[in-house]
Amino acid sequence: MNRRVDVKKNGEHCYDIVIGQGFDRIKEELEALDIKGIKLCIVTDSNVGPIYAAQLKEILEQTGNSVYVFTIPAGEANKNLDVVETVYTYLIEQHFERRDMIVALGGGVVGDLAGFTAATYLRGIDFIQVPTSLLAQVDSSIGGKTGVDFSKYKNMVGAFHMPRLVYINIDTLSTLSTRLFNSGFGEIIKHGLIKNREYFDYLDTNYEHIKALEPEYITEVVYESCLIKADVVDRDPTEKGERALLNFGHTLGHAVEKLMNFSLYHGECVGLGMICASYISNERGYITDEEYTAIRNMLKKYGFPTRVEGLDIFSILEVSKSDKKMENGVVKFILLKQLGEAVIDKTVTYDEMTQALKEIL
């Protein structure tokens, strides 16, 4: 079963996200976009490349394009300008021109870096996303944000650059580590909580099918999450308003991520942040005690830590004060108005956050 999301920008068709099994169908997609007779450079990393690059290359070659592969070392530490330069050099050596394209094959690191390279090489060439981690499939490959880290600052240099196509082969998830697979559900559960209660319930009811990677269930989950993210991004492509709702769980989550020196995965920290934000939503009487408990239980079910050791409230608050989500000295917090509906709130006090943090410490 295949699914397709029509991603819009300012209400107009921008590109499609195609979700299914195997790489084969990418041929038809390229043909439909009239992508032929050009050079395609698969940019991948040292973990994903050895598993999938040859397979994808062979299929892409059947579309009448010349296909090259460039492999970068895996890991966030390599999402930087030095590595971007190595890709530029390769593209120049292979005589890539304006009409040629990059195909980003990998997780969010590859997507962000290859996308940024495409956004800047020759003032911008087209690119295609082939995301292989759950996080990349439901989150980072959608929305057109590309970029790299600079010095110790995350995602400090970047560009908005929309792909021509996002092609998701859910079979690639089978080689992802269990912990990485689990942590992808941080954003997925978030999507249900902020936008769609039925989706949250679906994740609850069909937990076993989803965790067993049953294709029809995984396809449905990836599809539903892509729909939600694409819809939010369409209404706010440059992050001036509604897109902030996607930061649910991220205000305190990011602070925990930083303080734990990235030993906890992003999704795991978002899970902890969502517990805090849901606690505040419950204290304010927006969601019921039962709903708050359901959120905690859901995270537990999907293998998330619900507590973190070795951190203190003061440091977490200090770090969140210096976060990007601050606006004129006020923390832009995302709360649940009800299960399935989020709001931006600028009145959350440090006292409320302190109480909430006690839930995870």
Ligand X SMILES: NC(=O)c1ccc[n+]([C@@H]2O[C@H](COP(=O)([O-])OP(=O)(O)OC[C@H]3O[C@@H](n4cnc5c(N)ncnc54)[C@H](O)[C@@H]3O)[C@@H](O)[C@H]2O)c1
Contacting residue, 14, 26, 110, 256, with ligand X by CB under 6 A: 110
**Nearer of residues 45 and 291 to ligand X, judged by Cβ:** 45
Site string for ligand X, 291-330 (x = CB under 6 A): ----------------------------------------
Return the closest-CA partner of residue 267 out of 157, 161, 208, 179.
179
β-bridge mates for residue 45, sequence order: 72
| Range in contact with ligand X (rule: CB under 6 A) among 28-36, 93-101, 128-136, 323-331 | 128-136
Site for ligand X contains 45 (CB under 6 A): yes
Q: Does 341 bind ligand X (CB under 6 A)?
A: no
Long-range interactions of 216-222: CB distance < 8 A, separation 24+: 216/1, 218/170, 218/173, 219/1, 219/2, 219/3, 219/19, 219/20, 219/21, 219/170, 220/3, 221/138, 221/188, 222/3, 222/19, 222/134, 222/137, 222/138, 222/168, 222/170
Alpha helical stretches, state H, the chain: 26-32, 48-61, 81-93, 108-120, 134-135, 178-195, 197-205, 207-211, 215-235, 250-259, 266-283, 289-301, 313-321, 350-357
* 108 makes contact with ligand X (CB under 6 A): yes
How many residues bind ligand X (CB under 6 A)? The answer is 27
Closest approach of ligand X to the CB of residue 44, in Å: 9
Site for ligand X in 78-97 (CB under 6 A): 79
| Span interacting with ligand X, options 16-24, 68-76, 250-258, 292-300, rule CB under 6 A | 68-76
Nearer residue to ligand X within complex by CB, 39 or 164 = 164
Q: Which member of 16, 139, 257, 352 binds ligand X (CB under 6 A)?
A: 139
**Contact present, 157 and 83 (Cβ < 8 Å):** no
Are 114 and 102 in contact, with CB atoms under 8 Å apart? Answer: yes
Residue-by-residue DSSP string for 91-151: HHHTT--TT-EEEEEESHHHHHHHHHHHHHGGG--EEEEEE-SHHIIIIITSS-EEEEEET
Q: How far apart are CA 41 and CA 258, in angstroms?
A: 34
Distance CA 90, CA 100 (A): 13
Considering only 16, 47, 83, 114, the residue that binds ligand X (CB under 6 A) is 47
Binders of ligand X among residues 142 to 201 (CB under 6 A) are 143, 145, 155, 172, 175-176, 180
Select 121 or 181, whichever has its Cβ closest to ligand X: 181
Least Cβ distance, residue 64 to ligand X (angstroms):
27
Return the range that interacts with ligand X (CB under 6 A); candidates 2-10, 43-51, 196-204, 307-315: 43-51
Among 33, 76, 159, 201, binds ligand X (CB under 6 A): 76
Of the candidate residues 63, 101, 106, 251, the single one contacting ligand X (CB under 6 A): 106
- Under the binding rule (CB under 6 A), the answer on residue 71 touching ligand X is no
Measured between alpha carbons, how far is 116 from 146 in angstroms, rounded to an integer? Answer: 5
51/317 with CB nearer ligand X: 51
Residue 228 as a binder of ligand X (CB under 6 A): the answer is: no
Q: For the chain, how long is the longest CA-to-CA vector?
A: 62
The one segment of 41-49, 199-207, 218-226, 311-319 that binds ligand X by CB under 6 A: 41-49
Using the rule CB under 6 A, which residue among 30, 60, 102, 109 binds ligand X?
A: 109
**Whole-angstrom Cα distance, residue 255 to residue 269?**
9
Work out how close the CB of 104 gets to ligand X at its nearest, in angstroms, rounded to a whole number: 10
Query: DSSP labels for 259-298?
Result: HTTT-S-HHHHHHHHHHHHHHHHHHTTSS-HHHHHHHHHH
Least distance to ligand X, CB of residue 65, Å: 23
Which residues contribute to the site for ligand X (CB under 6 A)?
45, 47-48, 51, 74-76, 79, 106-110, 112, 132-133, 135-136, 139-140, 143, 145, 155, 172, 175-176, 180
